[in-house]
Amino acid sequence: MTPPKPEARPDRVSLWGYLRLFRRDILSAQPARLYRAWMAEFRTPFFRSYLCNDPALVRLVLDERPADFPKSGRVTEGLRPLLGRSVFVTNGEEWQRQRRIIDPAFEGGRVKEAFPAIWAAAEAAVQRMKTGAVEVELAASHAAADVIFRTLFSIPIEDKVAQAVFHEFRAYQRSAPILNLAAFLPVPAWVPRLHRRATLRSARVIRGLISGMTRDRAAAIAVGTAPQDLATRIMTTPDPVTGTAFGTGEMVDQVAIFFLAGHETSASALGWALYLLATHPEAQGRVAAEAAGMVPEFATVGKLRFTRDVFREALRLYPPVPMMVRENARAEEFRGRKVRPGAQVVISPWHLQRHDRIWDNPDGFDPDRWSTPEARESARDGYLPFSRGPRVCPGAGFAMLEGTLLLAHLVRAFRFEALPDQVPVPVAHLTVRARDGIWLRVSRR
């Protein structure tokens, strides 16, 4: 069974029609030819954008000259009420300082140190899972939020504050469009961004709850009683260049993006992985057999090779962040076309990872592809679920560990079956989610 993807729009559509489609769902707003094209140019009255699938252009933007292609402010405007000046939205020296403080928390053996917390969250996810017809995206969100709270602040999702953040974040998801009006119009910095009232309210509540946790942690650090989790490591790490650490306000920004990136993206990938296994029973049986011998030791992870490849394949077919937008700081030439400064440069994992000229059977679910040299070559040109280059997600290794363990625990305990009359349709909200959720029939093994 071929996994579902959105229907592409016709090649020609009016500008107004395109903007309406784009604001509602950026995936179905794109024409089918982008799954084969190396580049496409889009024109609006106010700016031009260039979608780049050519591997050479992707390397140029992300790997070779990233400083010449800073993150576009047009796309991050919609997230500012929640994320403030977090590492996700900044550029230049501000971003470099933030990464110098954050990166050590995820280096080397730090992922191994997170294993007990992730294992505990996976066991809790098994206990919470219901049987019958279940909306597994919600279950995946709950599990991923539990992981981030346990690893970041050493509290389970059942903690009162964690519960409040989790439920408020779901409200934020429902109210926040993926793109703000400023993404399409030349709006000066001093003009209000016209965020929805519900979006602003949810962002205020979330940031207020995070502020309380951050202040409490700072107090615990001061008296020497803080646990050695991610929050403590990041808050006690000074910038090796300036010698300064994050203040409370800065830490609130960073915790907001850790929750967004560490919870929302993981939940998206886990939900789609469960759906893919539900529609491919033979692969599900292999995951269950592989997971049967799991023990709570870090060495277990190395034995979950097929499970890891299933999660990797889910990330390929349904990359949580479907598009990344940069802005060229100087005049460029892309494939013989002159590109003026200020153009929007779009790198689309959604299209790269299903590209006809990069992947064999691009729309098919095939976890075994990852054991072949051909797939490794394709991945070099067209696989970037965690971005690439200097802006690669610092938690990529963490996310792979989390996804593999959660998937193994759930499939070891339960059998997941697709509901023929409820085929999920992927759409881009904050991440790639199903329009009406992912409903599966769940039964105990």
The answer to whether residue 190 scores a pLDDT higher than 50 is: no
Radius of gyration of the chain (CA): 21
Q: Where are the alpha helices (DSSP H) in 226-340?
A: 230-235, 248-259, 265-278, 281-291, 305-317
Fold for 15-444, please state it: Cytochrome p450 (1.10.630)
Q: What is the pLDDT of residue 48?
A: 87
Residue 79 has pLDDT above 80, yes or no: no
Q: What per-residue confidence (pLDDT) applies to 10?
A: 59
- Which residues are within 8 A (CB) of 123 and not within 5 positions of it... i.e. 6 or more apart? 409
Q: Of 12-16, 85-89, 289-293, where does mean pLDDT reach its minimum?
A: 12-16
* Domain chopping of the chain, boundaries: 15-444
Please give the average per-residue pLDDT across 388-413, as a whole number: 95
Percent of the chain with pLDDT over 70: 90
Q: Tell me the residue ranges of DSSP E strands in 111-235.
A: 132-135
| pLDDT at residue 330 greater than cutoff 80 | yes
Stretch among 26-30, 138-142, 201-205 having the lowest mean pLDDT: 26-30
Q: Residue type at 130?
A: K
User: Which pairing describes strands 344-347 and 337-339: parallel, antiparallel, or unpaired?
Assistant: unpaired
- Angstrom distance (rounded) from CA 408 to CA 290: 8
Whole-angstrom CA distances from 418 to 17, 133, 272, 443 are: 34, 10, 12, 12
First-to-last alpha carbon distance for the chain, in angstroms, is 23
Q: What's the token pair of residue 136? A: 């597994």
DSSP 8-state secondary structure symbol assigned to residue 9: B
Cα angle value 206/72/311 (rounded, 5°)? 65
> What global pTM score does this model have?
0.92
- Which of the pair, 110 or 417, is modelled with greater confidence? 417
Whether residue 237 has pLDDT greater than 90: yes
